[in-house]
Amino acid sequence: MRVLGIETSCDETGVALYDTTQGLLADALHSQIAMHAEYGGVVPELASRDHTRRLLPLIDNVLEQASVGRAQLDAIAYTAGPGLVGALMVGASTAHGMARALGIPVLGVHHMEGHLLAPMLEDDAPDFPFVALLVSGGHTQLVRVDGIGRYQLLGESVDDAAGEAFDKAAKMLGLDYPGGPRVAALAEHGDPGRWRFPRPMTDRPGLDFSFSGLKTHTLTTIRGLESNAQLDDQARADVARAFEEAVADTLAIKCRRALEQTGLKRLVVAGGVSANVRLRARLEDATQKRGARVYYPRGRFCTDNGAMIAYAGAQRLLAGERDQVGLMKAVPRWPMDQLLAPAVKP
């Protein structure tokens, strides 16, 4: 089955073609970062308009890469949520329009399920069951994964997600959007011994996260430096280093606990924050000490992309799932625990 995957949940337009026999045939991505950087964050209306401009040319690009015509497609998968409703509508309407014209099935896919399954695109993919850490945009979640749609939420952020905390810390430090990569780059020049910021909610049992207190601590530190005219370039780098290490340690501690609690030996980490080098180092150390192993998608599939949607959609399409004709889905808020396992095993 050849499945075209479409991702338009936020500020990246992603398209990919996945074949259930041959694997990933082609993919393409357009990032809107440069456009939104001027405003310090994503502007929903601009995002929707840019998806409208970019999506069809990207589809043509991917099909040309794979030397596949539209008539050779077997199905289309698109991101149905969660995300920005206008952006989601662009992908949903395009997918449904193409599927109707071609007479093929179409299916709306959960964005976070796409991230969770992205490591399955790699040659050395993890087997079920495993623990997954999802750190993408406004989501920070620990999930036990026993199969497609068989998910048990172990813990999640009770306030700011890790990605949101990075973006807010970046603004405090006067860094441009997107915040995560900017903070990480600045932290490379920081002194790791100058400050130790709190590791939130690690001094109590449980697997939930909270980053609002860390954000407040960071702001208090910056304001103290400013009031004493000490916020120079080195101090900013030191704050970035202390903040990044606190986030990385917190995530690693909770992942270790999740592995201990479940007794599992495989950890999957996916989403934009999973590309953070310091986080990867902490997770590698935490898993090795337990005789466990950590899996990631390749770098370009850590952020939003069409390949993960094509793959996740293909698994459910193989099980016979599909949208009803003319009933496209755009679900801005869509808890993952509402997903069900396919009635038929893919």
> What residues are designated binding site for substrate?
134-138, 167, 180, 276
Q: Are 225 and 240 in contact (CB under 8 A)?
A: no
Query: CA–CA separation, 149 vs 61, rounded Å?
Result: 31
Query: CA–CA separation, 170 vs 247, rounded Å?
Result: 14
192: nearest Cα among 228, 256, 246, 132: 246
| Residue numbering of the annotated binding site for Fe cation | 111, 115, 304
276: left (phi over 0), alpha (psi -120 to 50) or beta: beta
DSSP SS3 for 297 = coil
Amino acid occupying residue 11 = D
Residues ≥6 apart with Cβ < 8 Å to 294: 267, 268, 269, 280, 283, 284, 287
Looking up tokens 């074949």 gives 19
Query: CA–CA separation, 42 vs 178, rounded Å?
Result: 9
The gap from C-alpha 238 to its chain's centroid, in whole angstroms, comes to 27
Amino acid occupying residue 102 = L
- Phi/psi for 240 (5° steps) reads -60, -40
Strand partners, 152: 144
| Residue numbering of the annotated binding site | 111, 115, 134-138, 167, 180, 276, 304
Sign of the Cα torsion 275, 276, 280, 283 reads negative
Q: Are 166 and 181 in contact (CB under 8 A)?
A: no
Amino acid occupying residue 340 = L
Query: CA–CA separation, 6 vs 239, rounded Å?
Result: 38
